[in-house]
Amino acid sequence: MNSALISKIEKAKRYAEERDRVTFVQFTARFRGDNDYHTVSFQDGRWHCTCHFFASWNICSHTMALQRILGEMLPAEAAAEPAP
Ligand SMILES: [Zn+2]
Protein backbone atom coordinates (compact mmCIF):
# COMPACT_ATOMS: atom_id res chain seq x y z
CA MET A 1 0.00 0.00 0.00
CA ASN A 2 1.11 3.54 -0.70
CA SER A 3 2.98 4.94 2.33
CA ALA A 4 1.16 8.26 2.09
CA LEU A 5 -2.17 6.46 2.37
CA ILE A 6 -0.92 4.35 5.27
CA SER A 7 0.03 7.48 7.18
CA LYS A 8 -3.41 8.98 6.49
CA ILE A 9 -5.11 5.84 7.82
CA GLU A 10 -3.00 6.03 10.99
CA LYS A 11 -3.91 9.69 11.39
CA ALA A 12 -7.59 8.85 10.91
CA LYS A 13 -7.39 6.26 13.69
CA ARG A 14 -5.90 8.84 16.04
CA TYR A 15 -8.43 11.49 15.05
CA ALA A 16 -11.28 9.05 15.62
CA GLU A 17 -10.17 8.74 19.26
CA GLU A 18 -10.05 12.52 19.69
CA ARG A 19 -13.69 13.41 19.28
CA ASP A 20 -13.28 16.94 20.58
CA ARG A 21 -11.77 17.71 17.18
CA VAL A 22 -15.22 17.39 15.60
CA THR A 23 -18.16 19.74 16.09
CA PHE A 24 -21.39 19.06 14.25
CA VAL A 25 -22.82 22.19 12.66
CA GLN A 26 -25.91 20.67 11.10
CA PHE A 27 -27.35 17.27 10.31
CA THR A 28 -30.57 15.35 9.78
CA ALA A 29 -31.08 11.84 11.10
CA ARG A 30 -33.80 9.23 10.78
CA PHE A 31 -34.55 7.87 14.24
CA ARG A 32 -36.32 4.54 14.76
CA GLY A 33 -38.34 5.05 17.93
CA ASP A 34 -40.31 2.34 19.70
CA ASN A 35 -43.51 3.20 17.82
CA ASP A 36 -42.51 5.08 14.69
CA TYR A 37 -39.70 6.68 12.74
CA HIS A 38 -38.92 10.33 13.44
CA THR A 39 -36.75 12.83 11.67
CA VAL A 40 -34.39 14.68 13.99
CA SER A 41 -32.46 17.65 12.74
CA PHE A 42 -29.92 20.06 14.17
CA GLN A 43 -29.15 23.41 12.62
CA ASP A 44 -27.97 26.81 13.87
CA GLY A 45 -27.63 25.41 17.39
CA ARG A 46 -31.27 24.31 17.51
CA TRP A 47 -32.84 20.88 17.59
CA HIS A 48 -35.97 19.78 15.82
CA CYS A 49 -37.86 16.48 15.83
CA THR A 50 -41.04 15.45 14.06
CA CYS A 51 -42.49 13.62 17.09
CA HIS A 52 -45.52 14.93 18.98
CA PHE A 53 -43.66 15.36 22.27
CA PHE A 54 -41.13 17.70 20.71
CA ALA A 55 -43.93 19.95 19.38
CA SER A 56 -44.90 20.79 22.98
CA TRP A 57 -41.58 20.58 24.80
CA ASN A 58 -38.92 21.52 22.23
CA ILE A 59 -37.02 18.48 23.45
CA CYS A 60 -37.73 14.76 23.35
CA SER A 61 -36.23 11.32 23.90
CA HIS A 62 -34.85 11.34 20.35
CA THR A 63 -32.98 14.64 20.66
CA MET A 64 -31.74 13.69 24.13
CA ALA A 65 -30.52 10.31 22.85
CA LEU A 66 -28.56 12.06 20.11
CA GLN A 67 -27.10 14.45 22.68
CA ARG A 68 -25.80 11.39 24.52
CA ILE A 69 -24.51 9.73 21.37
CA LEU A 70 -22.76 12.80 19.98
CA GLY A 71 -21.65 14.24 23.32
CA GLU A 72 -18.64 16.48 22.96
CA MET A 73 -19.12 16.65 19.19
CA LEU A 74 -22.02 19.07 19.71
CA PRO A 75 -21.60 22.77 20.40
CA ALA A 76 -21.68 23.25 24.18
CA GLU A 77 -25.03 25.08 24.15
CA ALA A 78 -26.66 22.19 22.28
CA ALA A 79 -25.21 19.34 24.31
CA ALA A 80 -26.83 19.85 27.71
CA GLU A 81 -29.96 18.00 28.79
CA PRO A 82 -32.47 20.00 30.80
CA ALA A 83 -32.60 19.34 34.53
CA PRO A 84 -35.58 17.08 35.30
ZN1 LIG B 1 -38.68 13.27 19.08
Q: Kindly report the pTM of this predicted structure.
A: 0.86
* Mean pLDDT, residues 6-17: 96
Cα 53 to middle of ligand 1, angstroms: 6
Distance from residue 37's CA to the centre of ligand 1 (Å): 9
Contacts 24+ apart (CB under 8 A), 62-69: 62/31, 62/33, 62/38, 65/31, 66/29, 66/31, 66/40, 66/42
pLDDT in tens, 72-84: 999 988 887 777 7
Average pLDDT rounded to a whole number, residues 34-42: 97
Q: Do 67 and 78 contact (CB within 8 A), yes or no? A: yes
Averaged pLDDT of the chain: 94
Q: In what order do the strands lie in the sheet with 37-43?
A: 26-32, 37-43, 46-49
Q: How far is the CA of 32 from the centre of ligand 1 (A)?
A: 10
- Res. 29: pLDDT tops 80: yes
Quote the ligand 1 centre to 63 CA distance (angstroms). 6
49-72 pLDDT per residue, tens: 999 999 999 999 999 999 999 999
Q: What is the 35 CA–ligand 1 centroid distance (Å)?
A: 11
